[in-house]
Amino acid sequence: MFQQVVFAGQANVFIYHRFDDSRYPSTNISSRAFQSHLEILHQQDFTVLTLGQILDKIKHGESLPERCAAITVDDAYRSVLTSGWPLLKSFGFPATLFVSTDTVGGGEHLDWQELKALRNEGVEIGNHTASHAFLLDQQNDENWAGRVLGELGRAQQAFERNLGFRPRLFAYPYGEFSPGLAELVRQAGFDAAFGQQSGVLTPDQDFFRLPRFPMGGVYANPDDFQDKLFMKHLPVKVVSPETTVLEGENPPKLIFSLEEGAFDSGTLRCFVPGQSECRVDMVPGEDRLFEIKASKKLVGRRSKYTLTASDRSGGGWFWFSQLWVMPRR
């Protein structure tokens, strides 16, 4: 477990999906494990806010609490009502729930009356599209932008019709985004959008590619949660490529700058799912410009490069994840 050193001016945001549903282990968490997460938040004296509250503070130039966290849940499965929300209420913690409107009332998903009741109890509702589509598929199609905006608009209309409001926050289905998709979400009138790449939210980030730490399966144990609760933001500025979509070279080369900070750049490490540790090299002739490239081809629809560095004082770790997506053409 990492040493517990707090870093002001940030929020550590966590994403959950299913509760007590062992059929889907990678996105599930047991009530017992979830309760342990909430107990840690309480014992460590964290202020738990909704995403909207955090973003409003940033927007108005207010400081975030020294220990600040947010709990988010995607997809609005019924288990959030039967297992997740009762535990959150018992600790007095709010949550943000992202809903895909076509699924409401179907199968294992909450219906509109249940969503209305949760909202009345303080749960913040966000847009997760209408159909939970793979929005990056066929991005080069001339009708792509229209399809995306139609998907977002149809969901907003359903929220207004059934709940009487239009959400201002958006979560990308499957955590997949690109610069082009982020711009469409911005054009659709949202205030911010969240992915599923792990990392820490800070006021200087792009509000349409904000990170969250996934909590499910093997990543849901209490030690992992506490480690990520005390992570700090590694201030990576990506130089190239500009997109998260793999369009050519695989494995991709990531070039980034890294400003001086409280971290020890000599401890900078890169990790790639399913591969050995990835080398981090200085770009020849450049000051504080780095490059990394996985040793093997990335596989699967989504992957990531995760960068970490230790605090100079030995008090914890800094974290950044770069998303890669290989959508259907």
pLDDT at 245: 97
Contact indicator for 78, 109 with CB cutoff of 8 Å:
yes
* CATH architecture assignment, domain 236-325: Sandwich (2.60)
- Whether the per-residue pLDDT at 10 is higher than 60: the answer is yes
Domain made up of 12-231: CATH architecture? Alpha-Beta Barrel (3.20)
Record the tokens describing residue 294, joined without a space.
């996985």
pLDDT of residue 140: 86
Angle between helix 179-187 and 144-163 (nearest 10):
40
- CB-facing half-sphere around the CA of 58: CA atoms within 13 A: 21
Neighbours of 269 (CB within 10 A): 15
Model pLDDT, residue 314? 77
pLDDT of residue 264: 92
Local confidence band at 261 (pLDDT 50, 70, 90 cut-offs)? confident
pLDDT at 199: 97
pLDDT tens digits, 131-184? 999 999 998 899 999 999 999 999 999 999 999 999 999 999 999 999 999 999
Contact 159, 187 (CB under 8 A): no
Question: What is the rounded CA–CA span in Å between residue 94 and residue 269?
Answer: 35
Under the banding of pLDDT at 50, 70 and 90, the label for residue 311 is: very high
Indicate if 236-325 has the same CATH topology as 12-231.
Answer: no
CA distance 156 to 165: 8
Q: Output the average pLDDT for the chain.
A: 95
3 state SS for the chain: CCCCCCCCCCEEEEEECEECCCCCHHHEECHHHHHHHHHHHHHCCCEECCHHHHHHHHHCCCCCCCCEEEEEEECCECHHHHHHHHHHHHHCCCCEEEECHHHCCCCCECCHHHHHHHHHCCCEEEECCCCCCCCCCCCCCCCHHHHHHHHHHHHHHHHHHHHCCCCCEEECHHHCCCHHHHHHHHHCCCCEEECCCCCCECCCCCCCCECCEECCHHHHCHHHHHHHHCCEECCEEEEECCCCECCCCCCCEEEEEECCCCECHHHCEEECCCCCCECEEECCCCCCEEEEECCCCCCCCEEEEEEEEEECCCCCEEEEEEEEECCCC
> What would the pLDDT profile of 232-259 be if each residue is shown by its tens digit?
999 999 999 999 999 889 999 999 999 8
Q: pLDDT value at position 129?
A: 98
| Residue percentage of the chain with pLDDT more than 70 | 98
51, 249 Cβ separation under 8 angstroms: no
> What's the predicted TM-score (pTM) here?
0.96
pLDDT band at 329 (very low <50, low <70, confident <90, very high): confident
What is the mean predicted confidence (pLDDT) over 104-108? 96
Ranges of each domain in the chain = 12-231, 236-325
Backbone torsion region of residue 217, taken as left when φ is above 0, otherwise alpha when ψ lies between -120 and 50, otherwise beta: left
CA dist 26 and 54 (Å) reads 28
pLDDT bin (cut points 50, 70, 90) of residue 315 is confident
Is residue 288's pLDDT more than 90? no
Mean pLDDT of 118-133: 98
pLDDT reading at 286 higher than 90: no
Place of tokens 């288990």: 79
pLDDT score, position 5: 46
Sheet holding 253-258, edge to edge: 236-240, 253-258, 289-293, 280-282
Give the pLDDT confidence of 197-229 residue by residue, as tens digits: 999 999 999 999 999 999 999 999 999 999 999
Q: Decide if 213 contacts 306 (C-beta within 8 A).
A: no
pLDDT of amino acid 8: 61
The residue-averaged pLDDT of 111-135 equals: 98
pLDDT tens, position by position, 89-99: 999 999 999 99
Quick one: pLDDT at residue 7?
Answer: 54
pLDDT of residue 120 exceeding 90: yes
Cβ(216)–Cβ(26) below 8 Å: yes
For 129-159, letters b (16+ CB in 10 Å) and e give bbebeebbeebeeeebeeebeebbeebbebb
